[in-house]
Structure formats: structure tokens, C-alpha cells
């Protein structure tokens, strides 16, 4: 029982981290461009952003490398109109709305799910879609709607829950489906005008489900190196080293750093469940990135009875973010969180204006919780004074 957690210790070993940083430092002079402008390396996933901030990895890296924080947080890219639609569902008297904790605090245009709950809506926090299905079994007189969101990481468990509901013929369970897919979202970032990125850390947990193939086609099409990356500090540092090694050698390939979890072909049962229940959806909107072809999924006709949007009248709303909110720019990596005028002022984790300050994977929450807040706010003031003077 008192065995040390070797795995965690090993992936947080300071000596190994130092050796990797030395290796990175040795590679940099080989990259001519790094001497003119810093390398722009994007970590797509909010989980990576939090590891980077929690362990201070950015401060350990040599000059010449800039980490750009990407849109890989499903709560963060959820448009305000979808939150409003979910609140409208939750406020129906017959509905129990079940969702993950993060999603409860995301601001809609008038209220969050948490505020709707305070006003009397029956909103329950769950840890998995199976918990929502258990609620449906327990309350056959109510309609249980699961607020389904996430990239391919959470999609298999949602799909398997729908299959279980179908198998048990549970009729009072449905999904408000907001699942999105990773590859089109990365492509949307790369297609953003003016976006300059030299390489990607790709999300290891998504790779565990979809395998390496979808990343490979992006790397080939855009000529961008990618490394599928785990979530411990040494995973990130090793992946950065692998990425920079590719750039130094002029390669643009997909490499798999997270080999202890990710297989080339992904997870076959998970992929089968996803393909059985979901189909690509061409009109999915993402905050900051707009409408991206086939980035979303919807429930297939054969499982339409589990689709909350076909069972209930759900408002189809497009709501702009408040003028002060620059979540879209942060999601695209165009600005850093502290460059948003609301950061640390009208937007804090206690009173969030945007989703990126709510989610445990949001870039703004990472900067706020783990960054040097006084220094970031001083930089923000300086930038604002500079803008006002010019
Ligand atoms: S500080 Fe708040 S409003 Fe600004 S980008 Fe971040 S989450 Fe959005």
C-alpha cells in the first residue's frame, strides 16, 4: 500500500527535465529562423496548457520558442448560443439536465446552468454519461437530458451510453449533442488568415481514440510537424524536443511521443461505437473559429429518439460574445490571455466573463491561476497605455 507512485515521479523528474531543456537549447541554433523570430509552437489541448503553466515549463524554455495556446478545450469553443439553448432545455419543468461540472459555470448571454439551477432548474452534475443514464432509470417520470460535449476523448463514452439506453429501451433519456472533432478544428486554426505556426503538440487522449492517421493527413497537407503528446511535464518537454528536432531537419511528420497509450489505429471499439451513433455534421459553430465544415457530429437518424433537439423544441441561437470579451482571439492564438482587456478585471475565475476563464482547461484560467498575476496585469496596463498613446 505504501509503494511510491513511480510513474508520476518519473514523468516529473527535474534532472530529466533539465537534460531535455539542454537538448532543446542545443538544437535551436540549427534553426535559422529561430534567430530572426521565435518558433511558434501550438499546444492544441487545454490539458497541455495547464501542465505547461502548472509546472512553469514555459519559463524553463530557452529564448526563441513561443508556445501558442490552442482551442482544444470543448467548453471554451462552445458558442454562447448553445449555452443559452442548454439553459432553455434545463428550464423545462419535465427535464433533469445532467452535465459535467465545468459546463455548469460557462456564461450564457443571461445566465449559466449554475445560475439556472439556483433559480430552480433541475441541473445535476455528473461524472460520466452513464451517471445520466442512471438518473433516467431512477426517474422514469422525468426526461433526463445529458449535455454531451467534448472532442473524440469523450465521444465514445457518450456513444456507448446511447447504445446502452437503446439496448435497455430507456425512453426518457436523450443527448443535447455538442461533440466536436479534432482534425477539422486544427485545420481551421491553420486556415486562419495571418496565422503563423511552426508545429503542433497534438492531444494524446484524442490520439488514443482516433489513432495517428487523422493527424498524419494534416501534417502532410500543411507541411507542419506534429507530435502526439502525453500530459506529464516530461511528456511535454520531450515532445517539444521532438518537434524542434523535426523543424531543424526540415521534416513535417507525425511522431507519437505518447506511445504508452496511443496506438496507430486508435481504439477500435470506441471508434465503432462513435460511428454507430454519430455522423459528421456540417453546420457546427465554434466560438472564435466560426462554422467549420464537418467539425461537429450529430446523432444518426436510427438513434433520433435519443436526440434532445428532435425530442424538444430547442432554440437555435447565434449570440455574439460581449464586446469586452476576446475569447475568440485567444482561442485562435492571436493574442495571449493577458492581452484581453477583461483579463483579471471584469473576468476572473470567481466572476468569469468568458468560457476560457471557467474551464479547468481554459488558457485564461491557466494564466490566472498559475501565471505571475501582478506582472501580467502590469504588462496589460502597459500595452493599454501604449495603445492609448499611439
Ligand atoms: S479574459 Fe475572460 S473575456 Fe477575456 S479572453 Fe479570457 S475568458 Fe475571454
Q: In tens digits, what is the pLDDT along the chain, a chain of 390 residues?
A: 456 556 778 899 999 999 999 999 999 887 865 557 889 999 999 999 999 999 999 999 998 899 998 887 888 888 888 999 999 999 999 999 999 988 998 888 889 999 999 999 999 999 999 999 999 999 999 999 999 999 999 999 999 999 999 999 999 999 999 999 999 888 888 888 888 899 999 999 999 999 999 999 999 999 999 999 999 999 999 999 999 999 999 999 999 999 999 999 999 999 999 999 999 987 667 776 777 666 789 999 999 999 999 999 887 777 677 778 888 888 888 888 999 999 999 999 988 888 889 877 789 999 999 989 999 999 999 988 888 887
Residue range 1-320, CATH number: 3.40.50.11740
Nearest 10 degrees: CA dihedral of 76, 80, 86, 89? 180
pLDDT value of position 293? 67
Can you tell me the distance from the alpha carbon of 299 to that of 306, in angstroms, rounded to the nearest whole number? 8
Residue nearest to atom 3 of ligand 1 (CA): 325
Q: Are strands 173-179 and 285-286 parallel, antiparallel or unpaired?
A: unpaired
Which of 335, 364, 366, 368 has most ligand 1 atoms within 8 Å of its beta carbon, as the pocket-test mutant? 364
Please give the full DSSP string across 128-178, using - where no structure is assigned: SHHHHHHHHHH-TTSEEEEEEEESTTTHHHHHHHHHHHHHTT--SEEEEEE
Task: Confirm if 361 and 385 have CB atoms less than 8 A apart.
Answer: no
pTM exceeds cut of 0.85: yes
Q: Which three cell numbers stand for residue 114?
A: 449554475
SS3 of 76, please?
coil
pLDDT value of position 378? 94
Greatest CA separation found in the chain? 67
How much is the CA Rg of the chain, to the nearest whole Å?
21
334's CB contacts (< 8 A; 6+ apart) are: 192, 194, 195
Ligand 1 centroid from CA 346, angstroms: 9
Task: Confirm if 54 and 259 have CB atoms less than 8 A apart.
Answer: no
Strand-pairing partners, residue 321, are none
pLDDT value of position 1? 46
Strand-pairing partners, residue 286, are 290
Ligand 1 centroid from CA 287, angstroms: 12
* In the chain, domain spans: 1-320, 327-389
Question: Which ligand 1 atom sits nearest the alpha carbon of residue 324?
Answer: 3
Ligand 1 centroid from CA 330, angstroms: 8
Ligand 1 centroid from CA 50, angstroms: 16
Residue nearest to atom 1 of ligand 1 (CA): 343
pLDDT value of position 94? 98
Q: Which of 69, 22, 31, 35 is nearest to 238 (CA)?
A: 22
Can you tell me the distance from the alpha carbon of 144 to that of 162, in angstroms, rounded to the nearest whole number? 12
Ligand 1 centroid from CA 151, angstroms: 22
Which of 73, 325, 334, 339 has most ligand 1 atoms within 8 Å of its beta carbon, as the pocket-test mutant? 325
pLDDT value of position 315? 77
Question: Which ligand 1 atom sits nearest the alpha carbon of residue 355?
Answer: 7
Ligand 1 centroid from CA 123, angstroms: 25
pLDDT value of position 247? 94
Pocket-forming residues, ligand 1, beta carbon under 6 Å: 325-327, 330, 337, 340, 342-343, 347, 353-354, 356-357, 364
Amino acid at each position: 500500500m505504501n509503494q511510491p507512485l513511480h510513474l508520476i515521479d518519473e514523468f516529473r523528474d527535474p534532472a530529466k527535465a533539465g537534460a531535455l531543456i539542454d537538448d532543446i537549447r542545443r538544437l535551436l541554433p540549427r534553426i535559422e529562423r529561430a534567430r530572426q523570430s521565435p518558433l511558434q509552437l501550438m499546444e492544441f489541448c487545454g490539458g497541455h496548457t495547464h501542465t505547461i503553466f502548472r509546472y512553469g515549463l514555459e519559463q524553463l524554455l530557452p529564448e526563441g520558442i513561443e508556445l501558442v495556446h490552442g482551442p482544444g478545450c470543448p467548453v471554451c469553443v462552445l458558442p454562447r448560443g448553445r449555452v443559452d439553448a442548454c439553459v432553455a432545455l434545463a428550464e423545462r419543468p419535465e427535464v433533469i439536465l445532467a452535465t459535467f461540472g465545468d459546463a455548469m459555470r460557462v456564461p450564457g448571454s443571461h445566465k449559466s446552468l449554475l445560475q439556472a439551477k439556483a433559480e430552480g432548474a433541475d441541473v445535476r452534475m455528473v461524472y460520466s454519461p452513464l451517471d445520466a443514464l442512471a438518473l433516467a432509470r431512477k426517474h422514469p417520470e422525468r426526461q433526463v437530458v445529458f449535455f454531451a460535449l467534448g472532442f473524440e476523448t469523450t465521444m465514445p463514452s457518450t456513444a456507448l451510453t446511447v447504445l446502452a439506453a437503446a439496448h435497455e429501451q430507456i425512453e426518457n433519456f436523450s443527448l443535447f449533442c455538442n461533440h466536436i472533432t479534432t482534425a477539422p478544428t486544427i485545420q481551421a486554426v491553420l486556415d486562419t488568415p495571418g496565422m503563423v505556426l511552426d508545429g503542433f503538440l497534438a492531444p494524446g487522449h484524442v490520439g488514443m481514440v482516433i489513432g495517428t492517421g487523422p493527424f498524419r493527413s494534416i501534417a502532410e497537407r500543411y507541411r507542419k510537424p506534429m507530435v502526439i503528446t502525453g500530459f506529464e511535464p516530461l511528456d511535454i518537454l520531450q515532445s517539444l524536443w521532438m518537434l524542434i528536432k523535426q523543424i531543424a531537419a526540415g521534416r513535417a511528420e507525425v511522431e507519437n511521443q505518447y506511445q504508452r497509450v496511443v496506438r496507430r489505429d486508435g481504439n477500435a471499439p470506441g471508434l465503432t461505437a462513435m460511428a454507430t451513433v454519430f455522423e459528421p455534421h456540417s453546420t457546427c459553430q465554434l466560438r472564435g473559429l466560426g462554422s467549420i465544415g464537418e467539425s461537429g457530429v450529430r446523432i444518426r437518424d436510427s438513434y433520433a429518439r435519443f436526440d434532445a433537439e428532435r425530442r424538444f423544441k430547442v432554440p437555435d441561437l447565434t449570440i455574439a460574445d460581449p464586446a469586452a470579451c476576446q475569447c475568440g482571439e485567444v482561442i485562435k492564438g492571436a493574442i495571449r490571455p493577458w492581452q484581453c482587456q477583461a483579463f483579471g478585471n471584469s473576468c476572473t475565475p470567481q466572476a468569469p466573463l468568458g468560457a476560457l476563464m471557467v474551464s479547468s482547461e481554459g488558457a485564461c484560467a491557466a494564466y490566472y491561476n498559475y501565471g505571475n498575476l501582478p506582472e501580467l496585469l502590469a504588462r496589460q496596463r502597459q500595452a493599454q497605455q501604449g495603445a492609448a498613446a499611439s
